[in-house]
Amino acid sequence: MLKPKVALVKGSKKLINAWAFYDWANSVYPLVISSAIFPIYYGMIFAENNQIDFFGYSVKNTAMISFVTAIAFIVVALISPILSGIADYIGNKKKFMKFFVFMGSLSCIGLFWFDLSTIYLGFLFYFLAMIGLWSSLVFYNSYLPDIAFEDQQDRASAKGYSLGYIGSVILLIFNLTMIMQPQWYGIQGTESEAAMLAMKYSFVSVGVWWAFFSLFSFYYLPRGNKGQKITQDILWNGYKELMLVWNQLSMNFRLKRYLAAFFVYSTSLQTVMLVAAYFGEEEIKWGSDSDKTIGLIVSILLIQLVAIVGAILTARCSEIFGNLKTLFVINLIWGAICVYAFFIETPNQFYMVAGFVGMVMGGLQSLSRSTYSKFIPETDDTTSYFSFYGVTEKIAIVIGMVLFGVLDQVTGSMRTSILFFFVFFVLGAFMLLRVPKKVY
C-alpha cells in the first residue's frame, strides 16, 4: 500500500478521522455477525432440533455458541501479549493489525459454508473471525493516545463508535433488503431457502466491507510510536510488559480501581451484546418466522441508530459531569434494563428494551475506552497498556459467556442468565464510586 506523502501529526483532524474510520470498517462484524443476521440464521438451521451432538455430548445450540465464543476470547487473551511484544520489538503494530483484519474478513466470507453438514468447519470460521476482530482492536485501541491529545480523546472515541454505527446500519439495511426481497438480487428458491442463501451472502458482504474500508485507516495510521528495542525473548516480552503494567498499578491507585470496576461491568456488558439476538430469537413470541426475522433486524437497527445519539450524548455528559459519574449512571441504567428484560415476552417490549440499550450501549463502550486512555500514565508504550486493557476485557467476557452458557444449558432457559447481568452492572457501578479523582 502507498504511504501518504506527509505523515500526519498527532491531533490533526485527518489522522483522527482515519483512526475513527476503522470503526466504520469493522463494526459490520459485531452488528451483522454477532447481533443481527447470524443469530437468526443460526436459529433457523436448528429450528427442528436445538441440540448439538458434540463428541457424544448433547449441548443446547445457544449454550454451544456461548462456549465457542468464550474459547475464542481465551485465545485472544493469551495471544494478545505475545503479539504486542513482537509489535513493540519491530515498531510496527499496523502490520499485526492488518494480519488480523484480513484473517477476520476472510473468515466472515468462510461463514457462507456454515451449515449442519459442515457444522465444525462453520464453528472454526466463526471462531477465527472473532479472533480476527478482537485481536485487531487491541492494536486499534492502542493508537488512541498516539493520534489524539487527552482533551480530544473522548470525542475521538465517540466519533469512532458513531461512524461504526452509521456504516454498519447501511450494510445491514442492504442485507435486510436482500433477505426480504431475494428475487431483486437474482436469489432463487423457496421463501425459506432464498432467505437463508441471502443471509449467507450477507456474511460475505461483511468480509468484503471490513477488508476494503480498513485500507483507508491503514493508509494514514503510523507504523507505531516506537523503534526497535532489544530483548532476549520477544515472544515473552509482551507478558513481561503486562507484568510491568500490573506492578505499576500498585503505584496508580486510580487506574487500579478503575480497571477493577471495568472488569466487573464488562462481564455483563459484552455478554449482553453477544447474546441479545439469541435471546430475542428464542424467548420472544414473534408469531411467524418472517415476523421474527424482520422484528429482530428492526430491533438491532433501532439499537444502532439510537446508539449514535447515545455515544455523542455520553461524551457531552462526561464533559459536564465527569467520566466516572457518567459511567456510574450508565451502569445503573444497564442494571434496570436487565431487570425489565427478564420479564419481557412480546415484540413491543423487546423493541422498548432495544431503544434503551441503544442509548447506553455505545456510551459505556466509548467512555470506558477514553477514560482508560486518560488514566494511563505518560508513556510511549501505549500498546502494552491497551493490551492489558484488552486482556482484562477478554477475561471478563470469558467469565460472562461461560456463566451464561452453563445457566442456559442447566436451566434450559436464557432468562435465568439475565439475572447475573444485573448483579455485575450494579456492582461495577458502585465500584466506580471508589475510584479517586486524582492519582495516588
Who contacts 270 (Cβ-Cβ below 8 Å, separation ≥6)?
Answer: 393, 396, 397, 400
What mean pLDDT is predicted for residues 206-223? 91
45 domain residue, yes or no? yes
3 lies in some domain: no
Instruction: Average the pLDDT over each of 211-215, 225-229, 264-268, 306-310 and give the range with the smallest value.
Output: 225-229
Per-residue pLDDT at 97 exceeds 80:
yes
- Mean pLDDT score of the chain: 82
Cα 40 to its chain centre, rounded Å, is 18
Element (H or E) spanning 267, and its range?
A: helix 253-283
Cell of 10: 498527532
Q: What is the pLDDT of residues 36-74, one digit of tens each?
A: 788 888 888 887 777 887 777 788 887 888 888 889 888
| Per-residue model confidence as pLDDT tens digits over 147-182 | 777 777 777 877 887 788 788 889 988 998 898 888
Per-residue model confidence (pLDDT) at position 230:
41
* Cα four-point dihedral sign 191, 192, 193, 196: positive
pLDDT of res. 306:
80
Residue 440 within a domain: no
Please give the pLDDT value at position 380.
63
Tell me, yes or no, whether 51 lies in a domain.
Answer: yes
Which one-letter DSSP state was computed for residue 113? G
Name which of 162, 127, 140, 136 is nearest 33 in CA terms: 127
Q: How many domains does the chain have?
A: 1
C-alpha of 322 from chain center = 24
354: domain CATH number?
1.20.1250.20
| 6 in a structural domain | no
CA 231, 232, 238, 240 torsion: positive or negative? negative
Inter-residue contact 178 to 184 (CB < 8 Å): yes
CB 127 within 8 A of CB 72: yes
Find the mean pLDDT for residues 186-194: 85
Query: Tell me, what's the pLDDT at 440?
Result: 42
- Minimal CA–CA distance to 210: which of 28, 33, 35? 28
- Examine the pLDDT at 433 and tell me if it is beyond 80: yes
Flag whether 2 is in a domain.
Answer: no
Beta bridge mates, 58: 53
Does residue 312 form part of some domain?
yes
208-239 as b/e: b if 16+ CB within 10 A: ebbbebbeebbebbbebbbeeeeeeebeebbb
What's the grid cell of residue 217?
Answer: 485507516
**Domain-located, residue 1:** no
Domain that holds residue 365: 13-221+235-432
Higher pLDDT, 18 or 249: 18
Burial class (CB in 10 A: 0-12, 13-18, 19+), 318: buried
* Amino acid present at 246: W
Cell 455515544 locates to 311
| Cβ proximity of 276 and 436 under 8 Å | no
